Structure 1
Amino acid sequence: MNEKIHIYHTNDIHSHFENWPRIQAFLKDRKASHEAAGEEVFIFDIGDFADRWHPFTEGTMGKGNVKLLNEAGYTAVTIGNNEGITLPHRDLNEMYEEAEFDVIAANLYFPDYKKPDWALPYRIYETKQGRKIAVTGITTYYQKLYELLEWKLSEPFTELEIQLNRLKEKTDMIIVLSHLGIHDDEKIAELFPQVDLILGGHTHHLFPEGKAAGRSMMAAAGRYGEYIGYVTAILKKNAPKQIQATIYETASLPRPINEQQQIISFDQIGKKQLDIEITTIKETLDFAWDKPSQLPALLCEALHEWCNADCSLINSGLVLKSLTKGRVTKYDLHQMLPHPINPCTVELSGAELKEVLLHAQDASWVNLELKGLGFRGQVMGTFIFHGIIIDKSHHEIYIGEEPINPDKIYKLGTTDMFTFGKFFPEIRRSRVKHYYMPEFLRDIMAWKLRQP
């Protein structure tokens, strides 16, 4: 007999809970409908479901997100970089303790190459008609960052080949949950024609009707829960599978009666969890994006001290909220610095550092709109320095009290997003980078504010 499989998938929701009530209601309704009809249904998430920019995720350290996935009836998930490298080791290791779904992360290991109990290399699901659906999952290869958090990642394509060899001749259909991005997904299709369906994420790409790639079908649902992916697969004995993909636009789905109340509750839960006093301040600390101001300067100083740098540079657009005099809580600092961004240092020659600093003087940075790389603000803002003096009248740059030496190697304190992005080629190309993890910028600010 032919058998029709129904597959729903999400990716890169990034804790955008404004879309979650409709997604959850839709998935629960569709799952119940298929099961009542005796049909096979699977629901998968492809990673970056949890993002610590939202107070709900920050306050529950991702466990609240797991509860939401449970309630929606997910079958399995893989992890993205926002689960893998923005949570401290212990928090990630405990995040899925109450998961009612499978977590499939084939290339994630402890440093001794043992698998966490909660991370499966693959799972084979058997349908009512006895057909076997194999699912494996892989996450993007940020090897060095995972190592700083006491994890080990295997190379995704090597790992995928190992898992596919294990699944050979055992299954009727192979699905890969890939948090690698569109280009690597195309490579999977090219190298592994035995893969029937690649459910993708990481690069926020959207395939309204899927994308055929060799013998594989690629499907992806964009970002932020704006769409839900839907794939049907008709399995026939001794005949090619018929796989079709489409999407549902979340905004066009029925609106739950209590939608707004649910959305508000996520913020309220997070705020309550983060109502922990950090310190008290005697005067309000303000900020501006288009000129030097108190909070960005204090943040730059804190980063400089934390990293023990020779000099430091940040962008003022990181700061999103003032701190009002009086009690300062974790919630206040989260609202001020919601970004999952870590401090770091890079080593540059004086000549390279000079190029960076001159480029940072460009007035066009101030209103440059910025998305991604961990940045959860609006615009870049002006650049703020510590340990750096730029004497424009004499065309001189001083590091500390000494004129910059083009041949000397300096340790520049900055944020990790400048090592990943293309803003400053000199920073990105630096061969010596050190990331301070798991601390975010808000943790560094908390440390600074607590000082006498």
Structure 2
Amino acid sequence: MATPFRLEGVIMKQTLTILHTNDVHASYAQFVRQASYIKKRKQELEVAGEAYLLIDAGDHLDMSVDECLATRGSVHLEMLEELQYDAMTVGNNELIRVPPEEIRELSKSSSVAWLLANIKEADGSVIGGMKPSLLIEKAGIQIGIIGTSDQFEDLYENKYGYRNEETVSVIQQQAEQLREQGAQLILHLSHLGFEEDRRIAKELVGFVDIVVGGHSHTVVETPVMQDGVYIAQAGSLGNYVGELQVELEDGKLGLVEGYLKEIDEEVPEDPAMLAIWRNAQQETATFLGEKLTVLETALSHEEVLREMATSLQGVWSADIGLMYGGGFLGGLDAGVVTRGDIFSKCRSMHSPIVMELRGDAIISLIRDHKKPEYMAKPIYGNGFRPQGTMIGTLGFSGVTWDDMNGEISNVRIGEESLEETRIYTVGTGTPMLYEEVCGYPGVRDASLVDIKNRKMVKDVFLEYCRVKGNV
């Protein structure tokens, strides 16, 4: 039993069950089963009079999934509340893929505590309704929980103006404060990734007892002891529920055991969670059904890429536009084009950028854009959906050329001949800024001019389709 007891000369023992999930990524079909198992396990623990904690290690949302996007993440607030999670940390899919004003409101509206200690607003305050840590009591056990997330170097600072805190230091500071407030057990709810959790474990000894992690989608069958700290993680996409059995002896951590429960098709769907999902699907159908334009004839994949390049050129008033094949998977049929038609083939979540390239670099891209060694190079960057999508061929606008058996000549930018040493502006998406992402050597010396952080490439194309009307 979790209720503490003490007899003269007898060691006081307390037990706690920690149920944990991570990286659900809006996998609703699997989550309705995962939720069913969690409810069943909670009920078993309650009947047995055992104390338990339910926590999530981030990336519950994923705006690349239609229901999540259509509801702007609100479906997840309902799901988290239905399961009565005690706390969740904030993952990169919450922070990167949701505009700051929306993530602030989501975290304020949530009945579940959102924890994030190492990323703050520019003035050092917490983001929206988030908290750096939480002290919670379960059947007499005082539990401190600290949340952190991968900072992606300075991405959040550059993208949204957030401020990074030194991760290890802030965990140590929060742990000390929680101990002073009476915490007997300190959990680090981490969205840093399994290898990073292992790397920093030696610096957290004496501060943190258990790390419950996410981000790397690692299947940790039983908790790993690393430099005196236990580390657990439960895979991804709702495929597992992690369970830790924790024993405290006289208020200090004793035995820790754990395992993963695989969620397969034999686990039934939870009716209440299924109803939440069905309501979101109805809202999504309306959202995706919006009519954008009418195509008199079908557009091939290459023709769509040129249209998208034109939209990116126009949104920046750039010298040329550039779109990559992996960002839009296929062509468009003749007839009415809806938002759903665009979203079904444009899954990637890249931001539109304007960058600068020399004229000779543009010629390099023209020369290479249909070469298999670049189109099929197995390199992809953050934000490609589905994961592993190749960069593909390139579509251009605002630039023309002659091609005689692979020899490129008479390259023109608008009505003028291209100058190889001149710097030109190029409207495109984030993958084209880095050779290591897109694979094309022509972008090696590209420099970023501006980025639209609150839009995605597909948003630009959607607006372009609305304005253009019949094509």
* Range of TM-score over shorter length: 0.7 to 0.9
Distance 1:122 1:25 in 2: 28
| Aligned match for 1:245, one of 254, 258, 263 | 258
Report deviation, 1:382.
Answer: 2.2
Alignment correspondent of 1:188: 200
Alignment correspondent of 2:467: 451
| Aligned match for 1:44, one of 55, 59, 62 | 55
Contact preservation (8 Å) 1:316, 1:384: yes
Q: Describe the SS at the equivalent of 1:202.
A: coil
| Aligned match for 2:453, one of 432, 437, 442 | 437
Alignment correspondent of 1:21: 32
Contact preservation (8 Å) 1:388, 1:397: no
Provide the aligned C-alpha RMSD in A. Answer: 3.1
For 1:58, give the aligned amino acid: L
| Aligned match for 2:417, one of 402, 417, 437 | 402
| Aligned match for 1:330, one of 320, 335, 339 | 339
Q: Describe the SS at the equivalent of 1:141.
A: coil
1:373-392 map, 5 Å:
373-377=382-386, 378-389=389-400, 391-392=402-403
Judged with a 3 Å threshold, the aligned counterparts in structure 2 of structure 1 residues 160 and 188 are, in CA distance, closer, same or farther, namely: same
For 1:91, give the aligned amino acid: E
| Aligned match for 2:371, one of 362, 365, 369 | 362
1:168-317 map, 5 Å:
168-169=179-180, 170-193=182-205, 194-237=207-250, 240-251=253-264, 253-256=266-269, 265=278, 268-275=281-288, 277=290, 279-288=292-301, 292=302, 294-317=303-326
Report deviation, 1:386.
Answer: 2.7
Contact preservation (8 Å) 1:18, 1:263: no
Report deviation, 1:137.
Answer: 0.4
Contact preservation (8 Å) 1:84, 1:146: no
For 1:138, give the aligned amino acid: T
User: TM-score, normalization: structure 1?
Assistant: 0.87
Q: Describe the SS at the equivalent of 2:171.
A: helix
Report deviation, 1:14.
Answer: 1.1
Report Cα offsets for 1:225-257 as digits up to 9, x if no partner: 222222221111276522223212112652238
Q: Describe the SS at the equivalent of 1:185.
A: helix
Distance 1:31 1:5 in 2: 12
Report deviation, 1:330.
Answer: 3.3
1:73-152 map, 5 Å:
73-116=84-127, 118-128=129-139, 130-142=140-152, 143-145=154-156, 147-152=158-163
Q: Describe the SS at the equivalent of 1:422.
A: helix
Q: Describe the SS at the equivalent of 2:237.
A: coil
Alignment correspondent of 1:413: 427
Alignment correspondent of 2:5: none
Contact preservation (8 Å) 2:75, 2:280: no
In our comparison, the structure showing a higher alpha carbon Rg is 2
Contact preservation (8 Å) 1:140, 1:156: no
Alignment correspondent of 1:422: 437
Distance 2:335 2:108 in 1: 38
Contact preservation (8 Å) 1:10, 1:229: yes
Judged with a 3 Å threshold, the aligned counterparts in structure 2 of structure 1 residues 137 and 259 are, in CA distance, closer, same or farther, namely: closer
Structure 1, unaligned runs of 5 or more: none
For 1:236, give the aligned amino acid: E
Judged with a 3 Å threshold, the aligned counterparts in structure 2 of structure 1 residues 264 and 131 are, in CA distance, closer, same or farther, namely: closer
Report deviation, 1:367.
Answer: 5.4
Report Cα offsets for 1:295-332 as digits up to 9, x if no partner: 22111211122233333432223224655555544333
Asked if 1:340 corresponds to 2:352, the answer is no
For 1:225, give the aligned amino acid: G
Contact preservation (8 Å) 1:57, 1:64: yes
For 1:298, give the aligned amino acid: E
Q: Describe the SS at the equivalent of 2:58.
A: coil
Report Cα offsets for 1:194-234 as digits up to 9, x if no partner: 21111222222221223221011111122212222222211
Contact preservation (8 Å) 1:14, 1:49: yes
| Aligned match for 1:4, one of 8, 15, 25 | 15
**Bigger Cα displacement from structure 2, 159-168 vs 363-372:** 363-372
**Bigger Cα displacement from structure 2, 254-263 vs 28-37:** 254-263
Q: Describe the SS at the equivalent of 1:207.
A: coil
Judged with a 3 Å threshold, the aligned counterparts in structure 2 of structure 1 residues 398 and 99 are, in CA distance, closer, same or farther, namely: same
User: TM-score, normalization: structure 2?
Assistant: 0.84
Distance 1:198 1:283 in 2: 57
Contact preservation (8 Å) 1:60, 1:273: no
For 1:402, give the aligned amino acid: S
Distance 2:341 2:81 in 1: 30
For 2:257, give the aligned amino acid: Q
Report Cα offsets for 1:158-185 as digits up to 9, x if no partner: 4323323323453221111111223321
